[in-house]
Chains A and B, each alone.
Chain A
Amino acid sequence: MQDKIFRIILLLSALVIPIVGVGIIASLISDSSGAFETFGFWNFLFSDDWTTKAGSESYGALPFITGTLLTTFLALIICIPFSLPVALFVGEYFRGRKIATILSTVTDLLAGIPSIIYGLWGFYALRPIFMHLNLSPQGSGILTAAFVLAIMIVPYAASLSAEFFKMVPSDLKEGAYAMGATQAEVIRRVVFPMAGSGVFSAYVLAIGRALGETMAVTMLIGNTNQMPDTLRTTGNTMASIIANQFGEADGLKLSSLIAIGLLLFLITAFINLIGKILIRKAQHV
Chain B
Amino acid sequence: MKKKYLSFLAAACALVMTACGGQKSSDGSNGVELTGAGATFPLPFYTMTFDNYGETSADKVSYGGIGSGGGVRNLKDGIVDFAGSDAYLSDEEMAELKPVVHIPTCMGAVVLAYNLPDVQQLNLSGDVIADIFAGKITRWDDERLKKLNEGVALPSQEIIPVFRSDGSGTTFIFSDYLSKVSADWKATYGAGKTVDFPVGQAAKGNPGVAGIVRQTPGSIGYIGSEYAFAQKIPYASVMNKKGELITPSTESISAAAGDIPQDTRCSITDPDMSGAYPISCFTWLIIYKDQNYSDRTKAQAQATVNLLKYMLSPEVQKSTEVVHYAPLPQKAIDLSLENLKQVTYNGEPLQ
Contact = CB atoms under 8 A, between A and B. Distances in A.
Binding between chains A and B: yes
Interface of A: 5-6, 9, 50-54, 123-124, 127-128, 131, 137-141, 222-226, 234, 244-245, 247-250
B147 interface: no
Nearest to B6: A9
A53 B192 contact: yes
B218 A52 contact: no
Given A223-B165, A248-B166, A248-B167, A138 B200 contact: yes
A139 B216 contact: yes
A222 B216 contact: no
Interface in B183-215: 189-190, 192, 194-204, 215
Across the A-B interface, the 9 shortest Cβ-Cβ residue pairs: A248-B69, A248-B70, A222-B201, A223-B202, A52-B194, A223-B165, A244-B165, A138-B160, A248-B167
A169 to B, nearest CB: 43
A234 B135 CA distance: 14
A279 to B, nearest CB: 33
Contacts of B69: 248-249
Contact of B217 (A131, A223, A225): A131
Nearest to A55: B190
Interface of B: 2, 5, 66-67, 69-70, 73, 76, 90, 92, 158, 160, 165-167, 189-190, 192, 194-204, 215-219
Given A50-B196, A234-B200, A234-B201, 17 more contacts: A9-B5, A52-B192, A52-B195, A53-B196, A137-B158, A137-B218, A138-B201, A138-B219, A222-B200, A222-B202, A223-B201, A224-B197, A234-B202, A244-B202, A245-B166, A248-B66, A249-B69
B239 to A, nearest CB: 27
A248 B73 CA distance: 7
A25 to B, nearest CB: 25
Nearest to B66: A247
B70 A247 contact: yes
B201 A224 contact: yes
A250 B73 contact: yes
Given A234-B201, A244-B204, A52 B166 contact: no
A244 B223 CA distance: 18
Contact of A53 (B2, B67, B189, B202): B189
B195 A53 contact: yes
A245 B2 CA distance: 44
